[in-house]
């Protein structure tokens, strides 16, 4: 079970890193035209790349503190992406067809936030043991 969990977390980290590369290297036209610049997509893409890399490093090395920091970056990037998607969706005329994508972004951000929160308990346990030693 632990190996499967580590593999899935590593795979998820790699996919977040790859998604960030897409935003950096090929910013979406809708986001670029809405903001009149590709900067927001490149910014949250860069944070996805950073977070994916750091969380992957944490999973590989087993350092909970490192993985948690990477997951936090993923939560920040996911929040920014979700806000950007909502702004594009609710621009006049409202494009309700973006609703599914927006909710998926929010859901994955919430799942990432839950992982960050759960890693916090592990981090506290590790710190408590270290403080006793």
Model confidence pLDDT, tens digit, residues 18-44: 999 999 999 999 999 999 999 999 999
Instruction: Tell whether the model's pLDDT for residue 82 goes beyond 90.
Output: yes
Instruction: Tell whether the model's pLDDT for residue 88 goes beyond 80.
Output: yes
Mean pLDDT of 76-104: 95
Ranges of H-type helices in the chain: 2-25, 29-35, 39-61, 64-89, 99-132
**Both structure tokens of 19:** 């998604």
Name which of 8, 89, 79 is nearest 48 in CA terms.
79
Instruction: Tell whether the model's pLDDT for residue 6 goes beyond 80.
Output: yes
Residue 1 binned pLDDT confidence (cut-offs 50, 70, 90)? low
Token pair 């935003």 in the structure block, residue? 23
Residue 132 binned pLDDT confidence (cut-offs 50, 70, 90)? confident
Residue 73 CA to residue 43 CA, distance in Å, equals 12
Query: What is the domain count for the chain?
Result: 1
The pLDDT mean for the chain works out to 95
Biggest CA–CA distance in the chain, Å, is 61
Residues 6+ apart with CB under 8 A from 39: none
Mean pLDDT of 79-97: 94
Range of the domain at 88: 2-132
HSE at residue 22, side-chain half, CA atoms within 13 A, is 9
pTM of the predicted structure, to 2 decimals: 0.93
Instruction: Tell whether the model's pLDDT for residue 114 goes beyond 90.
Output: yes
């Amino acid at each position: 079970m632990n190996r499967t969990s580590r593999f899935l977390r590593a795979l998820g980290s790699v996919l977040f890193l790859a998604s960030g590369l897409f935003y950096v290297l090929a910013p979406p036209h809708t986001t670029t035209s809405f903001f009149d610049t590709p900067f927001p997509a490149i910014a949250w893409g860069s944070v996805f790349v950073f977070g994916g890399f750091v969380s992957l490093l944490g999973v590989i090395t087993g350092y909970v503190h490192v993985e948690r920091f990477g997951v936090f970056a993923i939560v920040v990037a996911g929040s920014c992406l979700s806000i950007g998607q909502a702004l594009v969706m609710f621009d006049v005329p409202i494009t309700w067809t973006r609703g599914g994508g927006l909710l998926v972004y929010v859901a994955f951000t919430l799942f990432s936030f839950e992982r960050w929160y759960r890693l916090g308990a592990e981090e506290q346990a590790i710190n408590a043991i270290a403080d006793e030693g």
